[in-house]
Amino acid sequence: MKIHKCAALFGVVSMAVAPAQASDLGVNYNGLTRNFDLSELQRTETTWVRAFIDVTRLQALGEAAIATDPDVVGFKQIRAAGFKVILNLKYDYSGSDFPSNVNSQAFIDIRAFTTKVLNEVYNSTDIIVVGNEPFIESDPADRDNDLFLFYKQMSNHVITYNQARRAIPLYVGAFNNLQNTSWQTQPTIDLINYAENTPNVTGIDLHMHTASVTEMGQAIDWARGHLGATKKIISTEFSLKNHFRAHNTDTINATFANQYGINPSWKVWQYINYALQTPRPRTEWVAFLQASSWFMNVRMSLENADILFDQKGLVVATYALRQSQSSMPATTDPWMLNGIYCNQTCVPNPITGQSQFNYQWIDSFRARN
């Protein structure tokens, strides 16, 4: 756990809502805790680990699948190994309507199934978030009052479950892209206000995949303005993914291309796709990043973001441990640039066989953890 604080971040001013605290920093498995590897976690020196469990996916598989699902098994192993664990309950209603009527059979069924999932993983959890990305894991036409009602009612159910047991911190979210006015919708405001006004909700979760650390500050400030001063904020996902995507079609560095025998006309996305299909020696991958001004200009963004989180009083934030992406078309988000491990674009360590660290992120993570 960090014990340091920072008073300023390149002129970004903290809102006077509460004394700043040193936010904890952890790693994020997303929905792939089947990849749990104790040595990978230990090498990062992390204390916190976050993951989501897809409740609707498990519901489609049936109750018998819960205990043996590889992501549920992996999730439980994390806390058993001594780490603190954040769980996001994911409800993916893309392509279908929200069961927002509490008396409907669909809501009764998903509520009951949520209880069955919690029975399996609750004792392996230190913080629980009702939701993963509600305003993405849904159809645009359904991001209305039905979305709000579903998450409010599901949160009420999880609150009841939680209060009858250990009463661990419970958050609602996560909210995406709050730096953009088009995402600052009435259902978003309603759900944040619900978190503000419900005693047994600790606060909200923000996912901040932005073009700059400044935009992260804008998202936090907007959320804080609707959440009030007393409730907490966590961020279980953050990155400069949007900044990296803006450079997909840049031409790769000519000196780098000549040194490693790469086509000098290739764009960034082409080289990344090449590395995904044919993982590279880490020295080559690092050389590619070091030769790319668009990366080097923001290489301290993880540290800078965590300094910002200290200023804004976030409780904990988690950063991607590894990524899973099969290909890299020109218009795709380059998630693999964000991972602490370059598990897809770099060959394993030839001596140990372990995944290798990406450039810079591990140094920043350890410095701030």
Quick check: 133 and 113 in contact, CB under 8 A?
no
254 inside domain: yes
With 60 as the cut, is the pLDDT of residue 228 above it? yes
280 inside domain: yes
Q: What is the pLDDT of residue 2?
A: 53
With 70 as the cut, is the pLDDT of residue 201 above it? yes
Q: Which tokens go with 134?
A: 């509600």
Residues 183 and 311 in one domain: yes
Average pLDDT over residues 166-185: 97
Mean pLDDT of the chain: 94
With 70 as the cut, is the pLDDT of residue 15 above it? no
With 50 as the cut, is the pLDDT of residue 9 above it? no
Residues 254 and 241 in one domain: no
The secondary element (H helix, E strand) that includes residue 117 is helix 105-121
Average pLDDT over residues 17-36: 82
2 inside domain: no
CA 12 to chain centre: 23
Give per-residue pLDDT as tens, 318-330.
Answer: 999 999 999 999 9
1 inside domain: no
Residues 145 and 194 in one domain: yes
192 inside domain: yes
Give per-residue pLDDT as tens, 245-263.
Answer: 999 999 999 999 999 999 9
Cβ atoms within 10 A of the Cβ of 36, count? 22
Name the nearest CA neighbour of 60 among 135, 110, 132, 112: 110
Measuring CA to CA, how many Å separate 36 from each of 47, 87, 232?
14, 15, 28
Residues 192 and 109 in one domain: yes
The pTM score is 0.93
- Distance from C-alpha of 177 to C-alpha of 180, rounded to nearest angstrom: 6
Q: What is the pLDDT of residue 5?
A: 35
Quick check: 367 and 24 in contact, CB under 8 A?
no
> Predicted confidence band at 332 (pLDDT cuts at 50, 70, 90)?
very high
| CATH at 61 | 3.20.20.80
With 70 as the cut, is the pLDDT of residue 16 above it? no
Domain membership of residue 329 as a residue range: 248-291+322-360
Q: What is the pLDDT of residue 3?
A: 42
369 inside domain: no
Residues 264 and 197 in one domain: no
Q: If you search the block for the tokens 């043996």, which residue do you land on?
A: 68
Residues 131 and 86 in one domain: yes
Q: Which tokens go with 252?
A: 């790769």
> Predicted confidence band at 23 (pLDDT cuts at 50, 70, 90)?
confident
With 70 as the cut, is the pLDDT of residue 18 above it? no
Q: What is the pLDDT of residue 245?
A: 98
Residues 121 and 79 in one domain: yes
Residues 239 and 344 in one domain: no
Residues 193 and 286 in one domain: no
Give per-residue pLDDT as tens, 211-225.
Answer: 999 999 999 999 999
Q: Count structural domains, the chain.
A: 2
9 inside domain: no
With 50 as the cut, is the pLDDT of residue 20 above it? no
Q: Which class for 177: exposed (0-12), middle (13-18), buried (19 or more C-beta within 10 A)?
A: buried
Residues 283 and 311 in one domain: no
- Provide, for the chain, the percentages of residues in helix, strand and coil under a 3-state DSSP scheme, each rounded to the nearest 5: 45, 15, 40
With 70 as the cut, is the pLDDT of residue 194 above it? yes
With 60 as the cut, is the pLDDT of residue 7 above it? no
Report the percent of the chain where pLDDT is more than 70.
94
367 inside domain: no
Residues 149 and 42 in one domain: yes
Give per-residue pLDDT as tens, 89-147.
Answer: 999 999 999 998 999 999 999 999 999 999 999 999 999 999 999 999 999 999 999 99
Residues 216 and 304 in one domain: yes
Cβ atoms within 10 A of the Cβ of 184, count? 17
